[in-house]
Chain A
Amino acid sequence: MRFWMHVLTRLRLVVWLGWSVVGWGVVASGAVACTESASSVKADAGVTATDVTGAVDAGDADAAAGSDALAATDTTPASWPLIALDPAAKAPPKLSMIGVARRVNGVLELHPDMVPYELSVPLFSDYAVKRRALWLPAGTAISYRAKGPLDFPVGSILIKSFLFPEDMSEPTKHLRLIETRVIVRDKTEWKAWPYVWDDDGQDATLKVGGTVKSLPFMDVAGNKRTANYLVPQRNQCLDCHDRKDSGGTFTDIIGPKARYLNREILVDGEAVNQLQRLSDNGWLKGMPALGLIDQAFSAEKVAQVGVAQLGKAELNAAARDYLDINCAHCHSPNGVEGRTSQLYLNFDNEDAFLMGVCKAPSSAGKGGFGRSYDIVPGQPDQSILVYRLQTTELGAMMPDIGRSLVHTEGLALVRRWILEMAPVKCDR
Chain B
Amino acid sequence: MILAMVVAMALSGCGGDDTKPLSLDAGATQDVSDANVGDAGVDAAQVDAAPVDAAAEFPLHSCAAFAKPCVELRAGDVEGLQEATQLLEKDTTLVLGAGAWHLDNQVTLRKATGITLIGQGIDKTILNFKAQKIQSNGVDVIGDNFRIESLTIEDAKKDALRIEDSKGVTIRKVKVTWTNGPAKENGAYGLYPVKCQDVLIEDSVALNASDAGLYVGQTRNVIVRNNVARGNVAGIEIENTQFADVYGNLAEDNTVGLAVFDLPGNPIIGRDIYVHDNIVKNNNRANFAPGGTVSEVPAGTGTFIMASRRVEFAKNTYENNGTVDIAVVSGLAIQNKASKWRLAKDKVVGDSAGLDLPNDATGISNYRTSDVYLHDNTHKGSGTNPDGNDPWKRPLGFLLLIVYDGATIENVLYDAWGESSFHATDAGKNSNDNRLCLDNEAGATFVSINLPVTLPAAEEGKFAKLTDFFRPKAPFAPFTCKTMKGGPLAPVVLPQLKK
From B92-100, B105-113, B304-312, the one touching the partner chain is B105-113
B136 contacts partner chain A, Cβ-Cβ < 8 Å? yes
CA distance A8 to B37 in the complex (A): 14
Query: How many residues on the A side are at the interface (Cβ–Cβ under 8 A)?
Result: 87
A236 engages B135 (CB within 8 Å): yes
What are the 3 tightest A-B residue pairs by CB atom distance, in nearest-first order? Answer: A30-B10, A368-B291, A81-B13
Interface centre among A4, A15, A90 (most CB of B within 10 A): A90
Is B14 on the interface with A (CB-CB < 8 A)? yes
A86 to B25, CA, bound (A): 8
Select one of B18, B134, B184 contacting A212, CB under 8 A.
Answer: B134
Q: Is the CB of B184 within 8 A of A366?
A: yes
Task: Decide yes or no: A360 and B293 within 8 Å by CB, A2-B35, A86-B23, A428-B337 being known contacts.
Answer: yes
Complex contact A235–B15 (CB within 8 A) = no
- Return 9 A-B CB contacts under 8 Å, by A number: A27-B6, A30-B14, A83-B24, A99-B13, A212-B105, A233-B86, A362-B266, A363-B211, A384-B291
A228-B134 in contact given A4-B32, A26-B7, A363-B292 (Cβ < 8 Å): yes
B158 touches A90 (CB 8 A): no
Q: Which residues of B contact A317 (CB under 8 A)?
A: none
Q: Quick one: given A92-B32, A138-B21, are A210 and B82 in contact (CB under 8 Å)?
A: yes
- Contacting residues, chain B, for A292 (C-beta < 8 A): none
List residues of chain A with CB within 8 A of the CB of B104.
212
Q: Which of B67-75, B186-194, B433-441, B480-488 contacts A (4 or more CB under 8 A)?
A: B186-194
Chain A residues whose C-beta falls within 8 Å of the C-beta of B110 in the assembled complex: 234-235, 238, 242
Q: For residue A283, which residue of chain B has the nearest CB?
A: B16
Contact: A206 with B37, CB < 8 Å? yes
Spell out A's residues near B (CB within 8 Å). Answer: 1-2, 4-5, 7-8, 11, 15, 19, 24, 26-27, 29-31, 33-34, 36-37, 41, 79-86, 88-93, 99, 113, 135-139, 155, 206, 208-210, 212, 228, 230, 233-236, 238-239, 242, 244, 249, 336-337, 339-340, 342, 353-354, 359-372, 384, 393-395, 400-401, 404, 428
Residue of B nearest to A337 (CB): B164
Contact call B134/A364, Cβ cutoff below 8 A: no
For the complex, give the distance between the alpha carbons of A371 and B292 in Å: 8
A256: shortest Cβ distance to chain B, in Å?
18
Do residues B9 and A99 form an inter-chain contact, with CB atoms below 8 A?
yes
Given contacts A31-B13, A92-B24, A206-B37, contact A336 B165 (CB under 8 A): yes
Q: Please tell me if B362 contacts chain A, counting CB pairs below 8 Å.
A: no
Given contacts A81-B13, A365-B187, contact A340 B19 (CB under 8 A): no
Chain B residues whose C-beta falls within 8 Å of the C-beta of A367 in the assembled complex: 291
A210 to chain B, nearest CB (A): 6
Contact A394 B158 (CB under 8 A): yes
Instruction: Considering the complex, give the chain A residue whose CB is closest to the CB of B129.
Output: A394
Contacts A86-B26, A138-B20, A235-B109 given; does A401 touch B15 at CB 8 Å: no
In the bound assembly, the distance between CA atoms of A136 and B21 in angstroms comes to: 10
Complex contacts, B133 vs chain A, CB 8 Å: 212, 228, 230, 394, 404
CA distance A99 to B8 in the complex (A): 12
A5 proximity list for chain B (CB < 8 A) = 32, 35-36
In angstroms, Cα B133 to Cα A206, docked, is 21
Q: Enumerate chain A residues within 8 angstroms of B111, measured Cβ to Cβ.
A: 235, 238
Question: Quick one: which of B465-485 are within 8 Å of A by CB?
Answer: none
Residues of B within 8 A of A365 (CB): 158, 187-189, 210-211, 290-292
Does B17 have its Cβ within 8 Å of any Cβ on chain A?
Answer: yes
| Residues in B whose Cβ lies below 8 Å from that of A235 | 85-86, 108-111
Say whether B87 faces chain A, with CB atoms less than 8 Å apart: yes
For the A-B complex with A362-B292, A363-B217 known, give 4 more contacts whose Cβ atoms are closer than 8 Å. A26-B10, A89-B24, A340-B195, A365-B211
* B6 A11 Cβ-Cβ under 8 A: yes
Indicate if B460 sits at the interface (CB-CB under 8 A): no
State how many angstroms separate the Cβ of A91 from the closest Cβ of chain B: 6
Residues of A within 8 A of B337 (CB): 428
B426 is an interface residue with CB less than 8 A from chain A: no
Check A81–B23 contact: CB distance below 8 A.
no
Expressed in whole angstroms, the Cα–Cα distance for A240 and B260 within the complex equals: 31
> B34's closest neighbor in chain A, by CB?
A1
Chain A residues with CB under 8 Å of B391's CB are none
Rounded to whole angstroms, the CA-CA distance of A353 and B166 in the bound complex is 27
Q: Which B residues touch A339, using CB under 8 A? A: 195
Report chain A residues within 8 Å CB of B24: 83-86, 89, 92
Which residue of chain B has the shortest Cβ distance to A157 in the bound complex?
B15
| Closest CB in chain B relative to A87 CB, distance in Å | 9
Neighbouring B residues of A233 by C-beta, 8 Å: 82, 85-86, 105, 108
Number of A-B contacts (CB under 8 A): 266
Q: Which residues of B contact A208 (CB under 8 A)?
A: 37-38, 83, 86-87
Asked if A113 meets B15 with Cβ closer than 8 Å, knowing A11-B9, A26-B7, A234-B87, the reply is yes
Partner of B136, one of A82, A234, A395: A395
- B residues 112-158 with Cβ under 8 Å of A? 132-136, 142, 156-158
Q: In chain B, what residue has the closest Cβ to A33?
A: B14
The CA-CA distance from A33 to B17 in the complex, in Å, is 9
B33 at the A interface (CB under 8 A): yes
CA distance A35 to B185 in the complex (A): 61
Contact for B35 among A1, A89, A209, A400, CB less than 8 A: A1
Indicate if the CB atoms of B164 and A91 lie closer than 8 Å: no
From B3, B105, B132, name the one whose CB has the most chain A CB atoms within 10 angstroms: B105
In the complex, what residues of B have CB within 8 A of residue A359's CB? 265
Q: Are B194 and A428 in contact (CB under 8 A)?
A: no
Q: Which residue of B lies closest to A80 (CB)?
A: B13
B180: Cβ under 8 A from any A Cβ: no
B360 at interface, CB cutoff 8 A: no
Closest residue of B by beta carbon distance from A237 = B110
A48 to chain B, nearest CB (A): 20
Q: Is the CB of B13 within 8 A of A82?
A: yes
| Beta-carbon nearest neighbor of A369 in chain B | B291
Residues B37 and A31 in contact, CB atoms below 8 Å apart: no
Q: Is the CB of B165 within 8 A of A27?
A: no
**Which partner residue on chain B sits nearest A41 by CB separation?**
B16
CB-based nearest A residue for B17: A37
CB distance from A341 to the nearest CB of B (A): 9
Q: How far is the CB of B346 from chain A (nearest CB, A)?
A: 12
Assembly CA distance A17 to B4 (angstroms): 20
Is B22 interfacial (CB 8 A cutoff)?
yes
In the bound complex, CA of A41 to CA of B86 (Å): 38
B352 at the interface (CB under 8 A from A): no
* A230-B105 in contact (CB<8A): yes
B241 → A minimal CB distance (Å):
13
* Interchain CB contact under 8 A, B164 and A340: yes
**Is the CB of B197 closer than 8 A to any CB of chain A?**
no
Residues of B within 8 A of A15 (CB): 9
> Once the chains bind, are B37 and A394 in contact (CB under 8 Å)?
no
Q: What's the Cα separation between A242 and B108 when bound, in Å? A: 14
> How near does chain A come to B187, taking the closest CB pair, in angstroms?
6
